[in-house]
Amino acid sequence: MSQLTDRTTPASRAGTPATQVTAPVVDVAALGEVLMGRWADIRRKSRALAARPELRRIPGLSMEDHRARVMEQLHLLVAENAVHRAFPKSVGGGEDAGGNIAGFEELVLADPSLQIKSGVQWGLFGAAVMHLGTEYHHKTFLPGIMNLEVPGAFAMTETGHGSDVAAIGTTASYDPGSKEFVLDTPFRAAWKDYLGNAAVDGRAAVVFAQLITQGVNHGVHAFYVPIRDDAGFLPGIGGEDDGLKGGLNGIDNGRLHFTGVRVPRLNLLNRYGDVAEDGTYSSPIASSGRRFFTMLGTLVQGRVSLDGAAVVVSKLALTIAISYGSQRRQFTAASDTEEEVVLDYQRHQRRLLPRLATTYAMSFAHDVFLAKFDDVFSGAHDTDADRQDLETLAAALKPLSTWAALDILQEAREASGGAGFLAENRLTALRADLDVYATFEGDNNVLLQLVAKRLLTDYSKKFASADAGALAQYVAAHAGDAAFNRTGLRRLAQSVVDFGSTARSVGYVRDTDSQRQLLTDRVQSMVAEIAGRLRNASKLPKMEAAQLFNSNQNALIEAARAHGELLQWEAFTEGLRRIDDPGTRVVLTWLRDLFGLGLIEKNAAWYLIHGRISAQRALAITSYIDDRLLPRLREHALPLVAAFEFTPELIGAPIALGAEKERQDEAMAYYRTQRESGTAPLPEKAAVTKK
């Protein structure tokens, strides 16, 4: 039985005439429950908060007023006990890592500035004390952080070093005479920069600095440092306001610098590295490199929450654009009297429906990501391997979702025409606010480079203990496969089998196993090719090795991106198993196919160059998307966005809440009345013909 037959259920199976076909229907409520995921109750509570007028963003506020409003909103979150879930029970927290992130990322619906400023306070500043500190720090510092008595900054990034944290310039030198650390910013590029809460509200900061004791630099460590009192900056501390930004202007981002600032020895957050009174350094992790990455790995929740927030905003943008597109009418394409709904145009479907498929893939992938995060931070599965997997997952998914959110917001804005450009319809402000998501908590390209390095490491481990015979066998098989692909024999075989039939061509790539094979093969082949080019790097002088790596950097990032897309596709495919309703599963399978085949179409050049598909099949994929998947999914576009469960208060865009429908209904009624009463003027062509 063909895949197509599986997806169109003959009505005869339901006892109706065999000539009829029962169209699938989406169970919106059940699908919404699946999309809400494991922490559905927490998400709904957070959405109820986000819908409250006092938390909603007010367009047009000045930077100063916006900052003040967001700070007030943080106090409301404290009053609602909405920020304590992740913290230890010993200080009044809930020790619910996954639920904390699930609730936090939904705040983006109210105002991204609120989400990010609360993330700075409790997800970065507070989390650093919690994860990098010990019981002393928890009892001493966390209560004030949790109840907002001590607003704080997360002082890691420097003007001269963003993603390269290991090379930051700020130092913390231990003075055994006073039993204090002395913090210094030795040059302008070492100023801590872009820090939320630093410009106005922050009273303390977790400052990352090179720990120096007994003449030895033990690398980057974190220190709890008071920075302000009621009179302003404390002695030795200075700073500046970053000022107006491209977005997120409800957050008081600023710069900090330190000159001879002394903090007690006990203010070192010493879970992974400690200094005794006499200056002796000790650590439970002997390797300085592993220690550094372990410390940074504890702060991965920032990337988890950005990934989740990007998914939430993508859902909102598509809800607005698809709702508007189903009401807005333009051009009398199929009728002499009534204009066409713009979502019925193929181009409009091409603009929005593949992005809807991507959003569903992102949503299912985020569920996997968040569950993995909770497993690690709850201690259920917290080995070195689990943490490495989590970090790799974060570095793979956060870039894809944040880039996709920006693309979706822009396309949703354009697809909504001039109405999309009005501030009241939210899309422009959301696009501005999410712009920085692509670079903070790790520049997207740098993160993908980390993923690529992990892929290469896993690839090399696969053959680390293989004997010469096994390697020779692999090389021979790989060479034979390469020869088969590159000589065109694969394409020729495909063409013979397809024999000019578009339906037959699509049949070979439409099913789940074929999509998986093509997507997986691309990742594996890209990694193998890069590994082959870099195989001698370890034998080269440092400069030559760096040049060789740099010459393959773009290929590395593309391989990592392909890996992330495969993870999203696999998560979507696995998510289909959670859909019990047959009609909903049919529609979501079409949507999954649109995502998977869209990836193959987007990378058709690679598949053609490497002989994985024929030109016939490449053309057939595009034809199948345009002629079959888009029309099918068009009928289900509104139920698919309705399953996102956004109330009118959360949507907040008039064009998605019936304003456009009212205008269109009024216009149609006006012209209908003219026609029926005979008062409608004749069109010029008709008048000329009559004469």
Could you report the per-residue pLDDT of 317-363, keeping only the tens digit for each? Answer: 999 999 999 988 887 766 677 778 889 999 999 999 999 999 999 99
Most confident of 467-471, 591-595, 667-671: 591-595
Coil vs helix vs strand at 9: coil
Whether 280 and 311 share a structural domain: no
Residue 57 lies in a domain: yes
- Residue 475: the pLDDT is 43
> From residue 426, how far is each of 308, 316, 622 by CA, in Å?
19, 10, 33
Structure token pair of residue 64: 């100063």
Whether 581 and 453 share a structural domain: yes
What is the chain's mean pLDDT, rounded? 89
- Residue 483: the pLDDT is 43
Q: Which of 297, 315, 350 is the last residue of a domain?
A: 297
pLDDT at 674 over 90: no
pLDDT at 477 over 50: no
Whether 287 and 343 share a structural domain: no
pLDDT at 19 over 80: no
Nearest to 319 by CA among 349, 284, 356: 356
Residue 167 lies in a domain: yes
Whether 268 and 389 share a structural domain: no
Inter-helix orientation angle 346-378/553-576, to 10°:
90
Whether 103 and 200 share a structural domain: yes
CATH label of the domain that carries residue 76: 2.40.110.10
Helix ranges (H only) for 147-220 are: none
Q: Which of 249, 278, 297 is the last residue of a domain?
A: 297
Whether 617 and 667 share a structural domain: no
Over residues 364-383, the pLDDT tens digits come to: 999 999 999 999 999 898 88
Residue 474 lies in a domain: no
Whether 386 and 315 share a structural domain: yes
Whether 680 and 628 share a structural domain: no
Coil vs helix vs strand at 276: coil
Q: Among 184-188, 437-441, 509-513, 642-646, where is mean pLDDT lowest?
A: 509-513
Mean pLDDT of all residues in 303-325: 97
Over residues 493-547, the pLDDT tens digits come to: 454 444 445 555 566 677 899 999 999 999 999 999 998 888 888 888 888 888 9
* H or E segment and range at residue 192: strand 192-195
Residue 211 lies in a domain: yes
Q: Could you give the CA distance from residue 94 to residue 202 in angstroms, rounded to a whole number?
A: 25
Number of separate domains in the chain: 3
Mean pLDDT of all residues in 426-453: 94
Residue 478 lies in a domain: no
**For the chain, how big is the Rg over CA atoms in Å?**
29
pLDDT at 307 over 80: yes
- What pTM was computed for the model? 0.90
Residue 256 phi, psi dihedral angles, 5° rounding: -135, 145
User: What percent of the chain has a predicted confidence (pLDDT) above 70?
Assistant: 89
Which sign does the torsion angle of CA 633, 635, 636, 637 carry? Answer: positive
Mean pLDDT of all residues in 176-203: 97
Mean pLDDT of all residues in 1-13: 34
Q: Could you give the CA distance from residue 521 to residue 507 in angstroms, rounded to a whole number?
A: 19
Confidence of residue 465 (pLDDT cuts 50, 70, 90): low
- Residue 305: the pLDDT is 95
Q: Could you give the CA distance from residue 112 to residue 114 in angstroms, rounded to a whole number?
A: 5
Over residues 210-248, the pLDDT tens digits come to: 999 999 999 999 999 999 999 999 999 999 999 999 999
Q: Could you give the CA distance from residue 379 to residue 395 in angstroms, rounded to a whole number?
A: 21
Neighbours of 453 (CB within 10 A): 15
Structure token pair of residue 239: 């700073």
8-state DSSP, 340 = P
Over residues 540-594, the pLDDT tens digits come to: 888 888 898 889 999 999 999 999 999 999 999 999 999 999 999 999 999 999 9
Q: Could you give the CA distance from residue 569 to residue 592 in angstroms, rounded to a whole number?
A: 7
Q: Could you give the CA distance from residue 354 to residue 343 in angstroms, rounded to a whole number?
A: 13
Residue 363 lies in a domain: yes
CA 421 to chain CA centroid, nearest Å: 24
User: What percent of the chain has a predicted confidence (pLDDT) above 90?
Assistant: 73
- Residue 687: the pLDDT is 66
User: Of residues 659 and 412, which shows the higher confidence score?
Assistant: 412
- Residues acting as catalytic residues: 441
Burial 640-671 (b: 16+ CB within 10 A, else e): bbbbbbbeebbbbbbbbbebbbeebeeeeeee
Q: Could you give the CA distance from residue 369 to residue 303 in angstroms, rounded to a whole number?
A: 10
CATH label of the domain that carries residue 446: 1.20.140.10
Which residues constitute the domain of residue 222?
37-297
Mean pLDDT of all residues in 40-60: 96
Which sign does the torsion angle of CA 73, 79, 81, 84 carry? Answer: positive
- Residue 669: the pLDDT is 84
Whether 443 and 512 share a structural domain: yes
Whether 246 and 351 share a structural domain: no
Residue 445 lies in a domain: yes
How many residues make up the chain in this entry? 691
Residue 313 phi, psi dihedral angles, 5° rounding: -65, -35
- Residue 299: the pLDDT is 77
Whether 339 and 235 share a structural domain: no
- Residue 513: the pLDDT is 92
HSE-up of 242 (CA within 13 Å, CB side)? 23
Are 423 and 60 spatial neighbours (Cβ–Cβ below 8 Å)?
yes
Whether 241 and 322 share a structural domain: no
Q: Which of 253, 272, 297 is the last residue of a domain?
A: 297
Are 426 and 320 spatial neighbours (Cβ–Cβ below 8 Å)?
yes
Residue 2 lies in a domain: no
